[in-house]
Amino acid sequence: MSITIYMPALSPTMEMGNIVKWHKAEGDQISSGDIIAEIETDKAVMEFESADEGILGKILIAEGSVDVKVNEPIAIILESENDTIEDLDIIDSNNMEATDDNEYSIIDKESGEDVVRELVDEIDTTEPDIDDGNRIFISPIAKRIAKDKGIELTDIRGTGPNGRILKKDVEAHKTEANVSAQTYVGTDLKLESGVSLESGVRLEDVSPSTKTDIINEGNKLNYTVTPIDTMRSVIAERLQQSNSTIPSYTLNIDASIKKLNEVRKKMNEDMLDETKLSFNHFLIKITSMAMLHTPEVNASWEGDQIYSYNSTDIGIAVAIDNGLITPIIRNVENKGLLKISNEISDLISRAREKKLSPSEYQGGTISISNLGSYGIKSFTSIINPPQASILSIGASRKVPVVIDDAVDIDELISVTLTADHRLIDGAVGAKFLAYMKRLIENPNLMLL
């Protein structure tokens, strides 16, 4: 018997994935739990474990393939060495509804390879264009643009009558299509980092749309072409959506961190081990406490209703190679500073290796972005939906203050809240920020 391995859905939103690497070759023994492949989803590269045992009989989708749809067969595992590939009942019955039995019986049972090839052919032809009842509806202009840009019609979601693919659907797809040139999607994700045309990439390797652009410009190729990788296109799409659909506003407040720094230094000294609490760890806890204090902030806009959350799940914006990701610390209200500190360092290091699972960066009820280490005084961020707000933390700065007719030195940071006005009104946002300031300036309140 054989088992068909399908493209897994590694996150709730995943519709397609890229096969970055096959860890097993055809003929390799596979045990349950073995990592057989690495699959790139919209935000991370995930390891794909086998739930089955046997011998990897056939790889149906090659390493480096992109935009493989969830539930598309990607490999076949044979349960024992005696099995041959022709025992493909599962594929036959589950996936090949269009294949009728008579047609199937012609296939030579002796040569497994051919059967697989036949099957792969079948899989290929069930998708494109016509003949099987899955006629693709597409407008003439959309069809022409898709053809010119080399976009597979099956990859485009149509929004017209009867799901007809319209010009705007193809245009919306074009950005994603830039990734589809195989050259750029190998085993190494670093390919995104600005491929210079002068540094040896042949024009043929550039995706059709990019190529057209270059020729049209008539330039001497004195610029570099960076294809959009999956992460960049997800970032672009989400931020665009956020910025164009959320009526946001910003509030800014200064808070003195003099006392907090003193407390923090003392705690770090007293802990007597390697653990060091940073300002961010305090900030995460303070944010959680302020959200409990002003629960209207801990909510999200869901079309015609508002979801209010019981837990405070806080995302931390982490810059990684060519992008950013916001791993989430869940239930911060139940966690102490030490636990927060341990979790965050683990999340950040795995984020940088692109090893986070989607459940570790999706959802969340607020995000924090801290650009203080770059000396940024204050800034605003774009809300990360479905979250309803985001905090932007600036650099600390020393300022002279007058206390009892004497000049003293205080240390301030700027905290900026960007909030979704649909559910967080200005006064509510202000109340939230004012309470954060109170906690920052009176860290003893954190014991409450």
Partner 1 sequence: MDLKYDVTIIGSGPGGYVAAIRSAQLGHKTAIIEKDKLGGICLNWGCIPTKALLKSSEVYSIMKKSDYYGVTAENVSFNFKNIIDRSRGVANDLSQGIGYLLKKNKIDLINGNGYILDNNTIKIQADNKETIISTKNIIISTGARPKELPGISFSEDVWSYKQAMVPDKMPKSIVVIGSGAIGIEFANFYNAIGVKVNVVELADRILPNEDGEVSEYAKTEFEKQGIKFHLGSYVNSITKSRDALNVELIHNINKKRSKLNANKVVMAVGITGNIENIGLEHNNINISDGHIITNEFMQTNVKNIYAIGDVAGAPWLAHKASHEGIIAAEHISGIQTHTIEKANIPGCVYSSPQIASIGLSESEAKNKYSSVKVGKFPLIANGKAKAISNDAGFVKVIYESATGELLGAHMIGDGVTELIHGYAIAKNMEGTEEDIMNTIFPHPTISESMHEAVLSAYDIPIHYK
At its nearest, how many Å lie between partner 1 and the CB of residue 143? 9
Reported as half-sphere exposure (CB side, CA atoms, 13 A), residue 87 has a value of 12
At its nearest, how many Å lie between partner 1 and the CB of residue 151? 13
Which of 1, 29, 49, 144 touches partner 1 by CB under 8 A? 144
Q: Is 145 a binder of partner 1 (CB under 8 A)?
A: yes
State how far Cα 231 lies from the chain centre.
6
* Footprint of partner 1 on 280-319 (CB under 8 A): 304
At its nearest, how many Å lie between partner 1 and the CB of residue 251? 22
* Footprint of partner 1 on 232-251 (CB under 8 A): none
Instruction: Pick between residue 162 and residue 222 the one whose CB is nearest to partner 1.
Output: 162
Instruction: Pick between residue 59 and residue 142 the one whose CB is nearest to partner 1.
Output: 142
Q: Is 177 a binder of partner 1 (CB under 8 A)?
A: no
The region of 143-151, 282-290, 360-368, 405-413 touching partner 1 under the rule CB under 8 A is: 143-151
Q: Is 218 a binder of partner 1 (CB under 8 A)?
A: no
Sign of the alpha-carbon dihedral angle for 157, 161, 167, 168: negative
Which of 23, 69, 117, 167 touches partner 1 by CB under 8 A? 167
* Footprint of partner 1 on 54-93 (CB under 8 A): none
Q: How far apart are CA 247 and CA 251, in angstroms?
A: 14
At its nearest, how many Å lie between partner 1 and the CB of residue 295? 24
Which of 141, 203, 271, 399 touches partner 1 by CB under 8 A? 141
Q: How far apart are CA 45 and CA 285, in angstroms?
A: 30
Q: What are phi and psi of 301, to 5 degrees?
A: -90, 120
Strand-strand pairing, 323-325 and 318-320 = antiparallel
Q: Is 438 a binder of partner 1 (CB under 8 A)?
A: no
Instruction: Pick between residue 17 and residue 158 the one whose CB is nearest to partner 1.
Output: 158
At its nearest, how many Å lie between partner 1 and the CB of residue 142? 6
Instruction: Pick between residue 269 and residue 304 the one whose CB is nearest to partner 1.
Output: 304
At its nearest, how many Å lie between partner 1 and the CB of residue 147? 11
The region of 95-103, 135-143, 228-236, 384-392 touching partner 1 under the rule CB under 8 A is: 135-143
The region of 90-98, 137-145, 200-208, 356-364 touching partner 1 under the rule CB under 8 A is: 137-145
At its nearest, how many Å lie between partner 1 and the CB of residue 94? 31
At its nearest, how many Å lie between partner 1 and the CB of residue 216? 8
Instruction: Pick between residue 173 and residue 285 the one whose CB is nearest to partner 1.
Output: 173
* Footprint of partner 1 on 146-165 (CB under 8 A): 148, 161
The region of 28-36, 140-148, 282-290, 316-324 touching partner 1 under the rule CB under 8 A is: 140-148
Instruction: Pick between residue 141 and residue 319 the one whose CB is nearest to partner 1.
Output: 141
At its nearest, how many Å lie between partner 1 and the CB of residue 213? 12
HEC readout, the chain? CEEEEECCCCCCCCCEEEEEEECCCCCCEECCCCEEEEEECCCCEEEEECCCCEEEEEECCCCCCCCEECCCEEEEEECCCCCCCCCCHHHHHHHCCCCCHHHHHCCCCCCHHHHHHHHHHHHHHHCCCCCCCCCCCECHHHHHHHHHHCCCHHHCCCCCHHHCECHHHHHHHHHHHHHHCHHHCCCCHHHHCCEECCCCCCHHHCCHHHHHHHHHHCCCCCCEECCCCHHHHHHHHHHHHHHHHCCEEEEEEEEECHHHHHHHHHHHHHCCCCCCCCHHHHHHHHHHHHHHHCHHHCEEEECCEEEECCCCCEEECEEECCEEECCEECCHHHCCHHHHHHHHHHHHHHHHCCCCCHHHCCCCCEEEEECHHHCCCCCCCCCCCCCCEEEEECCCEEEEEEECCEEEEEEEEEEEEEEECCCCCHHHHHHHHHHHHHHHHCHHHHHC
Annotated active-site positions, please? 421
Sole residue written with tokens 């970032």: 235
Q: How far apart are CA 22 and CA 189, in angstroms?
A: 15
Site for partner 1 (CB under 8 A): how many residues? Answer: 11
State how far Cα 7 lies from the chain centre.
18
Instruction: Pick between residue 274 and residue 304 the one whose CB is nearest to partner 1.
Output: 304
Instruction: Pick between residue 162 and residue 373 the one whose CB is nearest to partner 1.
Output: 162
Instruction: Pick between residue 303 and residue 375 the one whose CB is nearest to partner 1.
Output: 303
Q: Is 142 a binder of partner 1 (CB under 8 A)?
A: yes
Q: Is 139 a binder of partner 1 (CB under 8 A)?
A: yes
* Footprint of partner 1 on 345-384 (CB under 8 A): none
Can you give the binding site for partner 1, defined by CB under 8 A?
A: 139-142, 144-145, 148, 161, 166-167, 304
